[in-house]
Amino acid sequence: MTDKTKNTTNPLLCSTNKLKLGLFGLNVSSGCSMTDRPDTLKVEWAESVRIAKTADRLGFEAIIPVARWKGMGGKVNFNHRNFETFTWAAGLSAVTERISIFATFHVPTVHPVRAAKEVATIDHISNGRFGLNIVAGWNEREIAMFGIPQKEHDVRYDVADDWISLCKELWTREGEFDYNGPYFQSPAAYSEPKPIQQPQPALMSAGNSARGQLFAAQHADVNFVVAKDIAAAGAIAATGRRIAHEQFGRKMQVFGQAYVVCRETEKEAREFVDEYVNKKGDWEGVRNLLDVLVPNSKSALGDGWEALASNLIAGYGAIPLVGTAEQIVDGLCAFSKAGIDGLTLSWVNYDEGLKTFEDKLLPLMRQAGLRS
């Protein structure tokens, strides 16, 4: 008998790889590194297609974009060019074969009746490979562009809870029904066709505050941890899984984030980081980013301004995997041992990073039993 509460379609949720992989930040200029180098992402359609097809061929489970509406100013105006993620995911779904393509969005910017239908549509285009990364919305300057006042941190998750509850009903209920939530009311609500993935497409979130973790535990198939090192990521993952199990009787995967700099020697790798972070990093842009992030996100604070800023420049807050191929695969094994189900990866140069992944990292990951 099939379990109707379990998504048996989405490639990320069905993957049997010990360490699942997502590619992060492909839809935003400069990707995940705030640096003035010429080989970061440009945000052109041909670039998105090329890199998505490569990730698909290499067996990555997912591509996860960033929801962004304007850049961070400073030297490179980090992320100022960015593709809208629902339409982008629809396009990439049509040109890929196996990989799960996600859209990332801020809850206050899309009405759930509209979103439920967009999700169902992309799920049909992708034949059940679509996923939704739900961001409650911390970026005040962006939300202001929509003329919406920023709500208090925990209330944003209450709105997200109501938002996704209406979507879930639209994805599963036949005929018309009245929805009366605290934030959304929808008389005679109706949505057809249903998504291919049932009971719902793969859902992802990145809540690390107590309220954010509760939201994830209740609704998300995958939650991201933001942590300063692998051990801390493992501990947060265990807490998130326990809340999902104890309070909601659910299983939830937990992902971390890593940025990769792989070179022949550790010295070369470290010199490259020094060059793109200390010499070519956008220190003015990162100051602008932190001015908005710190008061609005409860998960952003680390070991002081300098360390946090340098980590944001290097990999948008991800954990570093810097060194030789062997050192990087040791790090990947450590993530897995700490209880992390998967990672999103990013590089300064995505084409080059994926080539090294194919030639050097993937064979070692297979030997280590992380990937088939």
Ligand X SMILES: Cc1cc2nc3c(=O)[nH]c(=O)nc-3n(C[C@H](O)[C@H](O)[C@H](O)COP(=O)(O)O)c2cc1C
Question: Which residue ranges make up the site for ligand X (CB under 6 A)?
Answer: 66-67, 104, 106, 135-136, 138-139, 206-209, 212, 224, 226, 257, 297-299, 344
The minimum distance between CB 353 and ligand X, in angstroms, equals 17
Q: Is the dihedral of CA 278, 264, 27, 335 positive or negative?
A: negative
Give whichever of 166 and 293 is closer to ligand X, judged by the CB atom: 293
Whether the Cβ atoms of residue 263 and residue 324 lie closer than 8 Å to each other: yes
7 token code pair? 């998504």
| Minimum distance, C-beta of residue 122 to ligand X, in the bound complex (Å) | 17
For tokens 């719902």, name the residue: 200
Closest to ligand X by CB, 189 or 230:
230
Nearest to 207, CA basis, from 190, 196, 220, 193: 220
Smallest distance from ligand X to CB 19, Å = 16
Q: How far is the CB of 60 from ligand X (least distance, A)?
A: 15
Comparing every residue's Cβ against ligand X, the nearest one is 212
- Residue with smaller CB distance to ligand X, 70 or 270: 70
Minimum distance of ligand X from residue 194's CB (angstroms): 26
Separation of alpha carbons 357 and 372, rounded Å: 14
Residues 6+ apart with CB under 8 A from 241: 251, 252, 254, 339
Contact 132, 103 (CB under 8 A): yes
Rounded to the nearest whole angstrom, what is the least distance from the CB of residue 72 to ligand X in the complex? 12
- The answer to whether 312 and 287 are in contact (CB under 8 A) is no
Of 344 and 356, the one with the shorter C-beta distance to ligand X is: 344
The minimum distance between CB 168 and ligand X, in angstroms, equals: 20
Any alpha helices (H) in 249-371, and if so which ranges? 266-273, 283-296, 305-315, 325-337, 350-356, 362-367
Q: How far is the CB of 226 from ligand X (least distance, A)?
A: 5
Cis check: omega of the bond before 11, within 30 degrees of 0: no
At its nearest, how many Å lie between ligand X and the CB of residue 293?
A: 8
Nearer to ligand X, 212 or 331 (CB): 212
Asked if 26 contacts 51 with a C-beta cutoff of 8 angstroms, the reply is yes
Within 8 A by CB and 6+ apart from 296, the residues are 138, 139, 140, 150, 153
Q: Which is nearer to ligand X, 93 or 257 (CB)?
A: 257
Q: How many residues does the chain have?
A: 372
Measured from the CB atom, the residue of 300 and 348 that comes closer to ligand X is 300
Please, what sign has the CA dihedral across residues 105, 170, 202, 209? positive
Alpha helices in 137-182, H assignment, sequence order:
140-145, 153-172
Which of residues 81 and 298 has its CB atom nearest to ligand X in the complex?
298
Residue in 64, 103, 59 with CA at minimum distance from that of residue 84: 103
Beta bridge partners of 262: 323
CB nearer to ligand X: pick between 96 and 208: 208
What are phi and psi for residue 267, nearest 5 degrees?
A: -60, -45
